Structure 1
């Protein structure tokens, strides 16, 4: 599902030698990722700091709405300072390219780290949920909605720390007052029902997506899934999901209650991030949650993650073919 955003083109070519960007950063040969319309390259600053640089080409493919959304993403990232939100160090608007120098996340995706664990319990899951909710409470208090919460956008700063998590990819993020947005935006399986229904929406859409992520962290699989998008969207609009006893018997009632209060069709009745942080689940003693072994969840999540990564690779191959044919640039 698309959205007017800064997912707009870049080839990652070298900057002009006398440009402001080139005077401050040196692009390496390592490509860190390729988006639908951008490339992310490893770079080193003059001070020796490793960063990720998003290179966005000005080759005529950018529409005005893409440019506007790019500047909105930059403005949002410049306005925030939170330990669990990725940092924007610099932004350069140059002759041939836009460059975004972003905090380098060397630990990879959160879900990739979880599935490598040999042991996983409900206290581990709660710690991750608390971090995500804290970041969302910070954003929402400032009138910022992320609009694309999903596992791919939860990254780890270091390969050695399981809890130094940062929320990334603010390409769809926007400042909002109340329910003033109406752009169709998000990722199938995580998108909120009010968006699918074409209603005006606000920060509550993030809380629905967060509820989906919490469900996966505790159950190991998504609450809404179907290869047919029409069927999938019908399930989402009706909040048609269940706690299958085979996977959920070992999960506490408090945790399930939190999910129920996040996956609420009416956004006015959905918990806010601040309210969710005060939910009784966060008051339960650590010893009780440590005893709730989520081994079955871990096994299920490994299968879910493998399918997720496979779909991502297929999309990557399709994108690479389009790049090779020059369809995107």
Structure 2
């Protein structure tokens, strides 16, 4: 049995041509938004006291790609986090503007800002987040649990076939990992390996005594979808056996609603705090000319989450466009 959702008065798509969306509600009452821009050349932030207000909020460019070197191309999937009184942006960037060579040459980087409002102040580059391999890596997120800060990301293990797996590590500080780096998930089911063998774009939701970690799988066209890992809140999160993996996607294309390739999600809450909300991107059409990565029409969308009787989230299906 599923607990029915209340309706939310948010138009879909919320923001057009913004993929890999991240919406975070801060203690100052503002919602902060960032995402990949179609040009993959900069990081933007916007804020509003309402989620719907983000659609019209001015976008402030807080950082631009370098002209050359390790942060000069394909700026992907920024996330904004507040940690110990400062702001941090985690993002992936490639080493070259030649996308044929640079497409899978990404590494993960961090920016820091001590201003009260992250749309102001100075963003300082804290450098690359170093992992145990120098290989394709992206889509970092971070969360705190019982006084420990964790980092979760996608990376190519040179010894494992496929494109990217999910890893977790403790953090020494917001830009440095410490201790073991453990693999939580590799693409193993058919729905995770269409086009590319991909686990990426992790997002964490802590509810009902458990930690739910969603992620995205397969190539970025209509087959892109969300999977989920689940751990008990009392378990050792650095033990891969603490996590169970759904054998089927938890959120996928809806032909009926004309929503294709939903994924790379984040989580936020409604203005009154009564609803958990799923933030994701999807296209409203299936046929794509050329590489799906360079089709700009992955739009930011939001919908409420239902909760099953057993305390697990039920994401339902992507709701149809309302504008």
TM over 0.5: no
- Structure showing greater radius of gyration is 1
Bigger fraction of residues in helix = 1
Bigger fraction of residues in strand = 2
Q: What is the TM-score when the length of structure 2 is the normalising length?
A: 0.27
